[in-house]
Chain A
Amino acid sequence: MGKSVLLIEDEPNIIEAISFLLERDGWTVRLHTEGVGAVEAVDKATPDVVVLDVMLPGRSGFDILRDLRTDASTRALPVLMLTARGQTKDRELARDYGVSHFMTKPFSNAEMLQAVRDLSEGLTPQSSGDAT
C-alpha cells in the first residue's frame, strides 16, 4: 500500500491540482476542506504527510498545527504548510509551532511534490526562499 497525504485545503481548484499531482506520483490523497475538525481528520486518516493551508474556514492552519504538536501521536508528523501569506511573521509563527516545511502560494508543482517526498522520507526539503 502506497503512502498517503492528508490535504487540508479549501480552494477547490488548488485541491484538484495538488490531488492530481500527488495521485500521479503514487500517493493516496485524502481531503479535509475546513479548519474545524481537521485535527480529528488527521487522527482518523493517519497520513504520512499533511499538506496544510493557513487560511481555512472556521480555524486557522496555525491553530491546527499547534494542536498537532501538542498531541504525542502527531508531534513528529511531517506537516507542509501552504499559505498565500508569506510574511516573515507568518513563517516565524509556523516555525515556532513546529512546521516541517513552509511554502507560499503560488508554488512550483515540482518543488511541492519534492517537498512531500522528502518529508515522507524524513529528509529536510530544499528551500527555495520559503523558510522552514
Chain B
Amino acid sequence: MTATGLTGTRIRDRRLVQQLKQADLARSVGISASYLNLIEHNRRRIGGKLLMQIAAALKVTPTALSEGADVMLTRQLEALATQGVEVEGDRIDEFIGRFPGWAQMLSDQQERLTKMEARLQGLNDRLTHDPVLSQSMHDVLGAAAAIRSTASILIQNPDIDADWRGRFHGNIDAESRRLADTSAAMAAHFDALSNDQPGYSTPVEAVSAYLEQRAFHVAELETDDDISTLMDKETGFQTPGSVDLAEAFLAQYREDARMMPLEAFIRATEECEFDPLQLAAVFSVALPTVFRRIATLPRNPARPDIGFASCDAAGSLLLLKRPLGFAFRRSGDACRLWPLFEALRKPGMPLRETLISPEGKRFAAFAVAHQHSATTFNATPIFQASMVLISDPDGRYSDRPVAVDCPICGAGGCGAWRAPSNLQNEP
C-alpha cells in the first residue's frame, strides 16, 4: 500500500494532537527527523512497512493516515455541527482523531435518532391514514352510538310497546355483536402491526428489507413461476400491506424474468456494456423494465455493483437497493439532484448522470419517469420514476456533483441543499 495525497499532513496532525516531538516519533520508527519532516510536508511518498510503523506509533490504523478519518463520519459530524448548538466545527478532524470512540458514538446516536424520527413519522402516518383503523374506529363509534341511544330509549320509555321493545332488543344485540367483532378485528390489526418486522414502519420498508436480504435476486422466480409457494415460505410479512406489496413486486419480477431470461440477459449486459437503452432495444422492453432487471441480477464480483431506486411523483422512495459503498438512506434525505427526481419533471426522457459517494465511489445513474397505465378515461396521469446505479470506477460518463444524502452532503453551494429536520433543531 502506497499512500498519497495528504498522508504526511495527517501524520503531522496526529503527532501534534498527541504532543509527540518529531524527533521522538522519527526515532521510534527508525528514521531521521529530517526524513519524517519531508514526509509530514508531503514531499516524500510513504507506504508499506514505514506507514504501518508510524501508524502503530501513533496508535491509529494505517488507513486512517492514508485515507484520512472516515469520510462519512466526518460528514455526519459536520452536519451535526450545523444543528443549532455552537460547536468547534473547524476541529472535527481533531475530535475524530483524539476521541474516535466518542465521535463514532455521536455519529451512531445521530443515525439512531434519524431512524427513530423516520419510524415515528411512519407510525404517525399509519395512525392518521391507516384505512383499517379509520374504518374500525368508525364502526366502533357507530355501534356504541346505536347501543347508547337504543338502551336510553328502553330505560326512559318503560311504556314502550312490545313490538318496539323487541326491535330495540334485537338492535342492541346486533350492535353489541358488531362492537365485539370490530374490537376483535382491531386488536388483531394492532397485533399484526406490532408483530411486523421490528424497525419497519411501512410495507415499503419491510419489502425493501426482504429484498435486501436476498440482494434483490429471487432465484426461485428465475425458474419457478409459483409466487404463492414463495410467499407461503416467507413469514416476515405480517401486515396485509406488506403482503400485497411483496406479491406485486414478485409478480413484476417474474414477468421481467420471462421477458428477459437470466442467461440471455447476462450475455446481453456484457455485449452492451450495461447500456440500458441498448438492452431495452435488444429485448424490446421499456427502460424501467430494464432498470429493474439489472437491479435483480445476482451479485457477481465480475460485474459492476448495482443500485436501484424508485419513487412516486411526490418524491417518496418506493424501493431502494443500496449498492456497496453507497449508504443512502430511506429517511427522505436523498439528494434532490438525483436524476430520479429530475426525471419526474421530464416524463419519458431518459436521463444519465454520474453520482459520487462520500467515499469517492462513482456510479453511472440512469433514470426515467413513466406513466402508469390508465384504467379509466379522463383520469389524471400518475407518474413514477426509477433509477438504476451502475458502478463506474473509470468514469465513462460526465461528472456532476450529485451526492447521496442531502443534509450530510459536503458539497455545499449547490442551491439544492435542504436544512435538517425541525426535530433535529429542537432544543
Q: Residue A106 contacts which of B138, B144, B167 (CB distance < 8 angstroms)? A: B144
Q: Residue A17 contacts which of B140, B141, B153, B174 (CB distance < 8 angstroms)? A: B153
Besides A14-B149, A17-B149, A21-B149, 10 new A-B residue pairs in contact (Cβ under 8 A), listed by A number: A13-B146, A14-B145, A16-B171, A84-B137, A84-B140, A85-B137, A105-B142, A106-B149, A107-B145, A108-B152
- In whole angstroms, what is the CA distance A104 to B137 when docked? 13
Chain B binding surface SS class: helix
Considering only residues 1-43 of chain A, those with a C-beta below 8 Å from chain B are 11, 13-14, 16-18, 20-21, 24
Q: Does A55 contact B (CB under 8 A)?
A: yes
- A106 near B175: Cβ-Cβ < 8 Å: no
Q: Given known contacts A16-B167, A17-B171, is B146 in contact with A11 (CB within 8 Å)?
A: yes
Enumerate chain B interface residues (CB-CB to A < 8 A): 137-138, 140-142, 144-150, 152-153, 156-157, 164, 167-168, 171, 174-175
- B138 near A109: Cβ-Cβ < 8 Å: no
* Residues of the B chain whose Cβ atoms lie less than 8 Å from the Cβ of A16: 150, 167-168, 171
- A109 near B142: Cβ-Cβ < 8 Å: no
B149: nearest chain-A partner, CB-CB? A17
A55: nearest chain-B partner, CB-CB? B138
- A109 near B171: Cβ-Cβ < 8 Å: no
Among B149, B156, B164, B171, the one with the most A-chain Cβ atoms within 10 Å of its Cβ is: B149
- Minimum distance in angstroms from B234 CB to a CB of chain A: 36
Among A13, A82, A109, the one with the most B-chain Cβ atoms within 10 Å of its Cβ is: A13
A54: nearest chain-B partner, CB-CB? B138
* Residues of the B chain whose Cβ atoms lie less than 8 Å from the Cβ of A17: 146, 149-150, 153, 168, 171
Among B137, B142, B168, B174, the one with the most A-chain Cβ atoms within 10 Å of its Cβ is: B142
- In whole angstroms, what is the CA distance A53 to B180 when docked? 23
* Residues of the B chain whose Cβ atoms lie less than 8 Å from the Cβ of A107: 145, 148-149
- In whole angstroms, what is the CA distance A31 to B141 when docked? 21
* Residues of the B chain whose Cβ atoms lie less than 8 Å from the Cβ of A21: 149, 153
- B146 near A109: Cβ-Cβ < 8 Å: no
- In whole angstroms, what is the CA distance A105 to B140 when docked? 10
- A105 near B144: Cβ-Cβ < 8 Å: yes
- Minimum distance in angstroms from B180 CB to a CB of chain A: 15
- Minimum distance in angstroms from A5 CB to a CB of chain B: 15
Q: Given known contacts A20-B164, A21-B149, A107-B145, is B171 in contact with A13 (CB within 8 Å)?
A: yes
- In whole angstroms, what is the CA distance A109 to B146 when docked? 10
13 contacts between A and B (CB under 8 A): A11-B146, A13-B174, A13-B175, A16-B150, A16-B168, A17-B168, A17-B171, A21-B149, A21-B153, A106-B141, A106-B149, A107-B145, A112-B149
- In whole angstroms, what is the CA distance A31 to B85 when docked? 63
* Residues of the B chain whose Cβ atoms lie less than 8 Å from the Cβ of A13: 146, 150, 171, 174-175
- B167 near A84: Cβ-Cβ < 8 Å: no
- Minimum distance in angstroms from B82 CB to a CB of chain A: 34
- In whole angstroms, what is the CA distance A22 to B141 when docked? 21
* Residues of the A chain whose Cβ atoms lie less than 8 Å from the Cβ of B164: 20
* Residues of the B chain whose Cβ atoms lie less than 8 Å from the Cβ of A105: 141-142, 144-145
B140: nearest chain-A partner, CB-CB? A84
Among B141, B144, B157, B174, the one with the most A-chain Cβ atoms within 10 Å of its Cβ is: B141
